[in-house]
Chain A
Amino acid sequence: FCLFVFCFCFKVRGPPVAGAFKERPTKPTAFRKFYERGDFPIALEHDTKGNKIAWKVEIEKLDYHYYLPLFFDGLTEMTFPYEFFARQGIHDMLEHGGNKILPVVPQLIIPIKNALSLRNRQVICITLKVLQHLVVSADMVGEALVPYYRQILPVLNIFKNMNVNSGDGIDYSQQKRENIGDLIQETLEAFERYGGETAYINIKYMIPTYQSC
Chain B
Amino acid sequence: KKSEISGVMAKAGIKPKSICHAKKWSDEIENLYRFQQAGYRDEVEYKQVKQVDTVECWAETGFVKKLQRRDNTFYYYNKQRECEDREVHKVKVYMY
Contact = CB atoms under 8 A, between A and B. Distances in A.
| Majority secondary structure, A binding face | mixed
A49 B84 contact: yes
Interface string A126-137: 000000000000
Interface in A10-65: 43, 47-49, 52-59
A95 B79 CA distance: 9
Interface of B is mostly: loop
B87 A54 contact: no
Measured as residues with beta carbon below 8 angstroms from the partner, the interface class of chain B is 10 to 19
Nearest to B84: A49
Interface stretch (B23-31, B41-49, B68-76): B68-76
A95 B76 contact: yes
Contacts of A59: 74, 76
B90 interface: yes
A55 B76 contact: yes
A52 B75 contact: yes
A90 B20 CA distance: 37
Contacts of A58: 66, 74
Contact of B74 (A47, A48, A55, A95): A55
A56 B73 contact: yes
A92 interface: yes
Contacts of B90: 48
A96 interface: yes
A54 B73 contact: yes
A47 B82 CA distance: 12
Nearest to B38: A54
A60 to B, nearest CB: 9
Contact of A48 (B66, B78, B79, B87): B87
A43 B73 contact: yes
A92 B82 CA distance: 14
B87 A96 contact: no
B78 to A, nearest CB: 7
B37 interface: yes
Nearest to B75: A54
Which A-B residue pairs are the 7 nearest by beta carbons? A54-B73, A55-B74, A92-B76, A56-B73, A58-B74, A54-B75, A43-B73
Interface of A: 43, 47-49, 52-59, 92, 95-96
Given A54-B71, A55-B73, A59-B74, 4 more contacts: A47-B37, A49-B87, A54-B73, A55-B75
5 contacts: A49-B82, A54-B74, A92-B76, A95-B76, A96-B66
